[in-house]
Structure 1
Amino acid sequence: MSFLQKLEVKPKDGGQEVDNLQNHDLIPMTPSRRLWNYASYFSFWTVSECSISTWSSGASLLSLGLNVKESIGVIIVGNTIISTLSVLNGGPGYYFHVGYTVCQRLVFGIRGSYFGVAIRTILSIVWYGSQAWLGGQCLGIIFSSWSYSYLHMENTLPLSVHLTTRDLISFLLFQLISIPMLLIRPEKLSMFLHVSSVAVFVAMISVFAWSIGHNGGAGPLLNAQSNFSSKSAHAWAWIYGITSWYGSLSSGITNMSDFTRYSKRKSSCVPGTFGAIMTFGTVMPLFGLLSASATSEIYGQALWMPHMIVEQWIIADYSSRSRVAAFFASLCFLSSQLALNLLSNGIAGGMDMSGLCPKYINIKRGAVLTSLLSWVVQPWLFYNTSSRFVVVMSSFSVFMSPIIAIIMSEFWIIRKRKLKLSDLYSNEVDSIYWYWNGFNLKSFFIFIVVATPGLPGLIHMANPNISINQGILHYYYGNCIFGFCIAFFLNIALNYIFPSKAIHALDSVDYFHTFTNEECLKMGITPAENESDRQSNQSKDVELIQEINVEKNSV
């Protein structure tokens, strides 16, 4: 056996074979593995919306010139868009139990799918590093609550690396803690999500209550007024605020099928998604804004992240009471960062990498590889320098919006919720998703048409010294609306003019054991067990006929 053969992913006992398009993690989920219910999705989104990133993200809206009340208005509109698109874009997951990787074969073709998967893989690696850095900060506060020496550890690294010795140790330990958890199958992480969501919510409430109570009020920020030179500038600030808010979660919306495929029922993800995003996704940024305002009066500087407030507790007063409070608050934050990073970035990245090379990478190997590669992006630079990381990453909605729009229009409108699963795993030219030599040229054309006008705006956001046309800048400001709508309707129009073949085709047999007998009956599909019995009976009939013929010949 060669070295490469030893590295190949082994098929599960009695499962599908492993090849260049499939392994156990990429094939549709069987009913026995679909374990997520309403509470699972509520906890999944609660962990995301009660995260450090969500708490601190209101600052980006204030930087646009909006006041607190307007920022909350932008957040509510943005969360409505996020909730709706998350549920709709997850359709292939809860109807056919396939993830984002396989959906890209529907969108870009069997060969072209690597394009969409590669984009999402890069985002997974970058976001994993970013969230792991914040998790390391929480771990550092836990150690600091145990040891005064750790809190004031001498830095032995040069200033040019923008990283302290204490932060490096904390980041490394968080990465090491994460790796064993990346080996747990995502469908079995539901209980961890429940515990983490409750813990982090209690911690966030506590930090907010302390900030307001200790200051005796919310501080000056709540009454600050917005100031714009014109109504037009004010309106575009609102539009850009909605786009940036949506953009920060656009990568998560894009691969929502990676998680809706674990749904016990088609409707399981709906109430949890809307409930958690619309409540915690609105309340937590408000808490962040008001707490920052309060801490500006307490400490003389606004602290935008909750763990920074907690760290100040033990810096200002290293008493037993402060240390205990800092320990438990940071432990809750740590739990949240682990849950968020494992699912949204680690396991999602593992799925993406598995799609790029399923013969050698499964979800576990891909998740660990995502973790290792996250060091390359040097996430400490995002937070310890003048990096415009948050702005640039939010700008990736320029690329994500057309992909989301094509998935939704293709699945819901053009194909009317019908997929031929066997053809999604076929390299043969007769696959209905082969399109032209394995590439769906219509989708590539739409992506280029929609994403290209947004690129100058993205470049301008990364480097404000580069000036661009005002009209192009406005397109970028509203790309979550303009880009999505153009891609959605353009895909419908092109498929009307140049229709794909067999757009409403379904498999005649449940080849992957994906559906229950009841689901097969509703869809008009023969259950796999029935087909196996039929083939077995046919085989027995053939054997019987052969025996009869042998007897006749002998006579």
Structure 2
Amino acid sequence: MSFLKRLQVKPEGDIGTVDFLRNKDLIPMGPERRLWGFFSILSYWAVSECCISTWSGAASLLSIGLNVGETMGIVLVGNCIIASLAVFNSAPGYYYHVGYTVTQRLIFGIRGSYFGIAIRTILSIVWYASQAWMGGLCLGLIFSSWSESYLNMKNTFPASVNMSTRDLISFLIFQLVSIPLLCVKPEKLSPLLKFSSAATFLGMLGTFAWSISHNGGVGPLFSAKSKFASKSDHAWAWIYGITSWYGSLSAGVTNQSDFTRFSRTKWVSIPPTIVGIVALGTIVPLFGIFSASATTEMYGEAIWMPNKIAEQWLIDDYSPKSRAGAFFAGSCFLASQLALNLVGNGIAGGMDMAGLFPKYVNIKRGAILTSLLSWVIQPWLFYNTSSTFVVVMSSFSVFMSPIIGIIVSEFWVVRKTKLKLSALYTFDENENYWYWKGINYKAFIIFFIASTPGLPGLVHGANPNISMSTGILNYYQGNCMFGFAIAFSLNVAFNYLLPPKNIHEVDTEDKFNTFTAKECAEMGITPYAEIDHESDTDVSYENLVVAGEKQELKSV
């Protein structure tokens, strides 16, 4: 057996075909793996919102000159936009139980899909590294509550390394602790998500309560006024603020169908998505503002990260009471970082890589590869230097918003929620999603039209010394709305003028054992159990190659 043959993903179940387009983790999710209900979806979003990044996110909004009231207004509006896009963009998941990777074949074509998948793969690796470093800081807080010598550990690295010995040790241990969890199937992670979200919210609530009670008031940030030279600048600050807030979650919104495909029923994911994003996504930043304002008065500077507030307890007074509080807070924040990084970046990265190399990579292998590659990113540079790399990655909504616009318009408007699932797993040139040589050139044209105007602004954000016109910068500041609207409109227009073939065609049989008997009855298709599988023709990549070789021999 060859080395590559040994590396291939093993077939599983009745539909165990593994080739260059499918494996068990890529085909539509069957009922046996759809285990997520209301509270599973709610805890998924709660983990995303009850995290250090969301707590400290309001700092960037205040830094552009907005006051606290305006900042919270932007947060609320931004969360409503995020919730709406998450619901509409995740529809292929709760309608047909397919994820982002397969949806890319619908919009970019069977071969062109690798483009959209590659973008998401890069984001998963980068944000895994970033959140893992933050998780290491939380783990370091726990170790510091156990040992004062760990808190005051001597740094053996030179200043050029841009990290301390203590932080590197914590980061390494966090990475090692994460790897076993990456091997758990996503549908089985619901208990971890529920526990982590509840624990983290309690930890954040306690940190917020301590800050207010010890300061005796809300602090100076609430009395600060907004500062803008003109009403126009003020208005664009709002738009930029919404874009900035959305940008922090744009990668997660883009691949929502990866997780809604685990939902038990079609509509169960919608209410918890809205509640999780709008309610928790607004409360947690408010905790952050109150706490930062209180610490400004107590310490002379705002402390925006909750783990740093807990660390300050140990620095001020290394007593049993402070150590217990720091341990509790650190444990809660660690649970958040583990769950968030595991599902939002590790498992998501595994799904992305499975879409790139399905014959050799499944979710588990891809998740572990994401973790290993995250070291290359050197995430300590994000937090300990003025790295322009993180500015660029935070601006990836320039690319993600057009993709979301194309998906939403394609699924809801162009195809009116009708998909032919079997055509998403074949290299057959006569099938619906082959387009032109496996590439949907219309989607690529639309993507570049919608994203290109934002690139100069992205460059300016990475290097402010490069001057740009006001109009270009304004487009960049509102790219999440402009990019989505342009891509959505152009995709509808292009497909009206040049409609794809068999635009509303669907399968007449449940070829992947995806749907329950009730779902099949509602959809008017033949259940998997009633299909004559011996007469099935599977047009996979390998079958096409074999057919081609036979044709060549026949012609000779």
Shift of 1:393: 2.8
Matched, 1:195 2:195: yes
User: What letter corresponds to residue 293 of structure 1 in structure 2?
Assistant: S
Normalised to the residue count of structure 1, the TM-score between the two structures is 0.95
What are the equivalent positions in structure 2 for 1:154-303 lying under 5 Å apart?
154-303=154-303
- CA–CA distance in 2 between the matches of 1:110 and 1:479? 28
1:475 alignment counterpart: 475
In structure 2, the gaps of 5 or more residues are 537-556
- CA–CA distance in 2 between the matches of 1:283 and 1:14? 46
Name the SS of the counterpart of 2:15 in structure 1.
Answer: coil
User: What letter corresponds to residue 80 of structure 2 in structure 1?
Assistant: T
In structure 1, the gaps of 5 or more residues are 537-555
- CA–CA distance in 2 between the matches of 1:458 and 1:63? 19
User: What letter corresponds to residue 466 of structure 2 in structure 1?
Assistant: I
Matched, 1:340 2:340: yes
- CA–CA distance in 1 between the matches of 2:266 and 2:410? 19
User: What letter corresponds to residue 462 of structure 1 in structure 2?
Assistant: A
User: What letter corresponds to residue 456 of structure 1 in structure 2?
Assistant: P
**526-535 vs 226-235, which deviates more?**
526-535
- Specify whether residues 59 and 30 from structure 1 end up closer, same or farther in structure 2 by C-alpha distance, changes over 3 A only: same
- Specify whether residues 390 and 75 from structure 1 end up closer, same or farther in structure 2 by C-alpha distance, changes over 3 A only: farther
Shift of 1:158: 1.3
1:242-268 deviation digits (Å, cap 9, x = unpaired): 111111111101000000000101111
Shift of 1:508: 1.3
- CA–CA distance in 2 between the matches of 1:223 and 1:282? 20
Matched, 1:102 2:89: no
1:62-121 deviation digits (Å, cap 9, x = unpaired): 111111100000011100000010011000000000000000000100000000000000
2:25 alignment counterpart: 25
Shift of 1:392: 2.8
- CA–CA distance in 1 between the matches of 2:381 and 2:101? 30
1:59 alignment counterpart: 59
1:2-48 deviation digits (Å, cap 9, x = unpaired): 01100010101433210000001000000111000011111111111
User: What letter corresponds to residue 256 of structure 2 in structure 1?
Assistant: M
Shift of 1:61: 0.4
- CA–CA distance in 2 between the matches of 1:320 and 1:124? 39
Shift of 1:296: 1.3
CA contact (8 A) 1:450 1:483 kept: yes
2:539 alignment counterpart: none
Name the SS of the counterpart of 1:376 in structure 2.
Answer: helix
Name the SS of the counterpart of 1:71 in structure 2.
Answer: helix
The percentage of aligned residue pairs carrying the same residue is: 66
Name the SS of the counterpart of 1:18 in structure 2.
Answer: coil
Shift of 1:289: 1.3
User: What letter corresponds to residue 240 of structure 1 in structure 2?
Assistant: Y
What are the equivalent positions in structure 2 for 1:428-467 lying under 5 Å apart?
428-467=428-467
Matched, 1:151 2:151: yes
CA contact (8 A) 1:127 1:345 kept: yes
Shift of 1:390: 5.1
- CA–CA distance in 2 between the matches of 1:409 and 1:13? 34
Question: Which structure is larger by alpha-carbon Rg, 1 or 2?
Answer: 1
CA contact (8 A) 1:428 1:434 kept: yes
Matched, 1:75 2:66: no
- CA–CA distance in 2 between the matches of 1:278 and 1:447? 29
Matched, 1:377 2:340: no
- CA–CA distance in 2 between the matches of 1:447 and 1:427? 24
User: What letter corresponds to residue 332 of structure 1 in structure 2?
Assistant: C
Matched, 1:123 2:123: yes
Name the SS of the counterpart of 1:98 in structure 2.
Answer: coil
- CA–CA distance in 1 between the matches of 2:206 and 2:420? 50
CA contact (8 A) 1:245 1:394 kept: no
Name the SS of the counterpart of 2:531 in structure 1.
Answer: helix
1:486 alignment counterpart: 486
- CA–CA distance in 2 between the matches of 1:391 and 1:306? 22
1:45 alignment counterpart: 45
Name the SS of the counterpart of 2:214 in structure 1.
Answer: helix
- CA–CA distance in 1 between the matches of 2:222 and 2:470? 32
1:403 alignment counterpart: 403
Shift of 1:240: 0.5
CA contact (8 A) 1:247 1:393 kept: no
The number of equivalent residue pairs is: 536
Shift of 1:394: 2.9
2:552 alignment counterpart: none
User: What letter corresponds to residue 193 of structure 1 in structure 2?
Assistant: L
Shift of 1:204: 0.3
- Specify whether residues 533 and 348 from structure 1 end up closer, same or farther in structure 2 by C-alpha distance, changes over 3 A only: closer
- CA–CA distance in 1 between the matches of 2:302 and 2:29? 47
Shift of 1:535: 6.3
